Amino acid sequence: MRLRACLTALLVTAFIQLAYPQMIVTTLPDSITYWERTNKVGMDISQIAFVNWSVGGNNSVTVLGKGNFARNYHKKNLNWDNELVLRYGLNSQEGQEMRKTDDQIQLTSTFGYRRDTVSNWYYSAKFNFNTQFANGYAYPNTEDEISGPFSPAYIFLGVGSEYIRKDLGLNAYFSPLTNKTTLVLNRTLANQGAFGVEGAVYDADGNLIRNGRTSRTEIGILVTNSLKRQIFKNIMLDHKISFYTDYLNNFGNIDVDWQWSLDMTVNEYVKANIGAHIIYDDDIKSKEEVNGEVIEGGPKLQLKQMLSLGLSYTF
């Protein structure tokens, strides 16, 4: 009886599919995911060599490893974007020790909620963390580090409003209440008062009375904007800028962090990139060596320019 029932069901199903094809039911996947995942890793290598070159020159090799990982969740009124950026570069040049050319760890997480599915405005909370992998030096001096892992590290945590246009690749965020924490865990740098933390206190004979602070906390306004979209065939613009000012310490002095790049696709694996990173931070004082003595000056514009060609793999 069971076999007869099964055969009857199969015959009825076949008849319905032939007679009424519009009624065919497709099988839905077992689960629906609202996560978008992107993993991108790459390596850029540049090399120059001279053999009997009349005008002279030094052989050199530069290697830059980079990774970009995104985990984004979108469902109706909820939006949660997470991005991790990693970069580390080294240069080896004939006649000098290996030097660092790039060093970055950046983690950003933004959670947003909107009242309806039509609006592009979200109530948002943003977390941002920045630091580096290894010590930095004012070459050729490799004895005294001027930066290091968690020296500094910057943590931003705030709430505000965010405007998102995914069709344009546009994102704008405004927070009237953002906490900025600066960490300088290297004791030597903390005692020097590097990156705006309170330095050590010494007596008249130069004896240490109190160590410098390893952190500094600020409350202020944060405004960010990002744009990522294709501007020409095989050319993608990636622009990020942020402005921050503290309510209590020199309100109106604005810290600026601006990054932009043009990613040019040669083929599936070969990419070219040109870009720049500009920073102005009122708490970071400039240093220069005059007659063998390091003199500290006021804050200055920091600029890093990048031009690279290398391999990239997205999965």
In the chain, what are the domains?
Answer: 35-314 (2.40.230)
Average of per-residue pLDDT values in the chain: 87
pLDDT of residue 208: 92
Joined tokens for residue 304: 């890093």
Segment 153-177 mean pLDDT: 96
Q: What angle do CA 196, 197, 200 make, to 5 degrees?
A: 125
pLDDT of residue 13: 52
The predicted-structure confidence for 68-102, as pLDDT tens digits, reads as follows 999 999 999 999 999 999 999 999 988 888 999 99
Beta partners for 75?
78
Helix (H, G, I), strand (E, B) or coil at 4: helix
DSSP 151: B
Q: What angle do CA 199, 248, 127 make, to 5 degrees?
A: 85
Residue with tokens 């930095």: 136
Q: Which of 172, 179, 258, 153 is nearest to 223 (CA)?
A: 172
Task: Please say whether the beta carbons of 256 and 240 come within 8 A.
Answer: no
* Rounded Cα gap, residues 154 and 295, in angstroms: 25
Burial class (CB in 10 A: 0-12, 13-18, 19+), 273: buried
* Rounded Cα gap, residues 211 and 202, in angstroms: 9
* Rounded Cα gap, residues 88 and 102, in angstroms: 5
Q: Which of 48, 61, 65 is nearest to 92 (CA)?
A: 61
Task: Please confirm whether the linkage preceding 140 is cis (ω < 30° from 0).
Answer: yes
pTM, two decimal places: 0.84
pLDDT of residue 31: 64
Residue 21: pLDDT over 70? no
pLDDT of residue 30: 54
* Rounded Cα gap, residues 71 and 40, in angstroms: 12
